[in-house]
Amino acid sequence: MSEPASDAQPPPLLQAKGLVKGYRLGRREIPVLRGVSFEAGGGEFVALRGASGAGKSTLLHLLGALDTPDSGNIRLEGRDLSTCSPVELAAVRNHRVGFVFQAYHLLPELDAIENVCLPARIGRRNSRVVEGRARDLLGLVGLGARMEHRPYELSGGEQQRVAIARALINSPRLLLADEPTGNLDSQTGHEIIDLLIRLQAETRTTLIMATHDLEIASRAPRVHHLVDGVFA
């Protein structure tokens, strides 16, 4: 006799509850997040929209274990990040999360393929396998002919494509993009968003993207508006 089908939904890939974060400036405590709760499922695309200073970057840094909240907790794939040691958090950032930043953060002394390989080499993965995957990713982002070029030889849009390939090198479950078009002109920015959306759909990676741009945010099936450290 077969088991009845289960209607239970899988748990969210990412869960954040009651996140509070502030920074001290001299004698002043500057609140940034004031109790944010948030979740995202596997393969979901979510946009975080808000003006500059609303707390978008701070929230992404917390979700990606680049920083820790003053209170509240974050669970990634069911694991409470507050219980992880610094070494374990480094492993989470390296293996489970990919980051795409506004300013690219490519190492100028490395060429495109070396920049893409870097997170996997830090994770001590097989160098031959890593280089093959890096070549495949650079081909996917349209830079198959630019692999040996250094950042100063690439346009802003090309540098962001390298950064996207680098973010995907370890096949992360979670991809965080912080204003990925902020340093780009309008046409190049739209090309980058098209690329991110296509790759997210192909890889079924959960994509959380912070942007102040209403048009870009509207591309996501779900949008959260962050205003003064809370969701409006």
Q: Give pLDDT, residue 4.
A: 53
Burial 58-79 (b: 16+ CB within 10 A, else e): bbbbbbbbeeebeebebbbeee
Q: What is the largest CA-CA distance in the chain?
A: 69
Please state the rounded mean pLDDT for residues 161-176.
Answer: 95
Q: Give pLDDT, residue 10.
A: 73
Q: Give pLDDT, residue 20.
A: 96
The torsion angles phi and psi of 46, rounded to 5 degrees, stand at: -125, 135
Contact in structure between 34 and 229 (CB atoms under 8 Å): yes
The per-residue pLDDT for range 180-211, each reduced to its tens digit, is 998 899 999 999 999 999 999 999 999 999 99
The per-residue pLDDT for range 175-188, each reduced to its tens digit, is 999 999 988 999 99
Q: How far is CA 9 from CA 6, 42, 82, in A?
A: 9, 11, 25
Minimal CA–CA distance to 164: which of 193, 187, 123, 130?
Answer: 193
Q: What is the C-alpha to C-alpha distance for residues 229 and 232, in angstroms, rounded to an integer?
A: 9
Q: Determine what percent of the chain is predicted with pLDDT higher than 70.
A: 96
Contact in structure between 223 and 46 (CB atoms under 8 Å): yes
The torsion angles phi and psi of 176, rounded to 5 degrees, stand at: -110, 125
Question: Would you give the end-to-end CA distance of the chain in angstroms?
Answer: 50
What's the predicted TM-score (pTM) here? 0.91
